[in-house]
Amino acid sequence: MISFTINGKAQMVDVEGDTPLLWVIRDLLDMKGTKFGCGKAACGACTIHVDGEAVRSCSYAVKYAEGKSITTIEGLGTADNPHPVQQAWIDEVVPQCGYCQPGFMMATAALLNKNPNPTDEDIDKNIINVCRCGTYYRMRKAIKKAAEINASTTTNS
């Protein structure tokens, strides 16, 4: 048995320890927002947070999640209460096919946690997921917008 917290809820799974966390999340826990793109930690579609750090879950053995806190796109925000990154994505109408977008939003949320006001170069160095529809142009605008939303909510609170 492996125990961890996922999106705030305690969870126990009975699964072989080397199983990629991605498949535990998608197939065992039936949360489909985290995507399979390559299974090789190359595309970033499966990016989640483990203890606040961006992690590519296709390349993360579930045994390492023991005792840790996991956040997926489902835990980032909701339709009624979107995370600032999701709000920025909505404002800029970023997604096209949408498949890679959860991974990008998770990577962006992790970036903004560490670097609330990233420069273009910071964005280029940290957001290295793959999008085939070519939404990068709007994503860059949304990342900056999310930083603004974060800044304004911090100031107001």
Strand partners, 43: none
Residue 25 beta carbon to other proteins: minimum distance, rounded to whole angstroms: 11
Shortest Å distance, C-beta 62 to other proteins: 10
Q: How far is the CB of 49 from other proteins (least distance, A)?
A: 10
Nearer to other proteins, 105 or 157 (CB): 105
Judged by beta carbon, residue 11 or residue 32, the one nearer other proteins is 32
Least distance between other proteins and beta carbon 151 (Å): 17
Q: Which is nearer to other proteins, 97 or 148 (CB)?
A: 97
Contacts of 57 (CB under 8 A, 6+ apart): 20, 21, 22, 25, 34, 46, 47, 48
User: CA-to-CA distance for 87 and 92, rounded, in angstroms?
Assistant: 9
Of the pair 129, 150, the CB lying nearest other proteins is at: 129
Structure tokens at 102: 């959860």
CA-CA distance, 143 to 147, in Å (whole number)? 6
Q: Which of 86, 119, 125, 124 is nearest to 102 (CA)?
A: 86
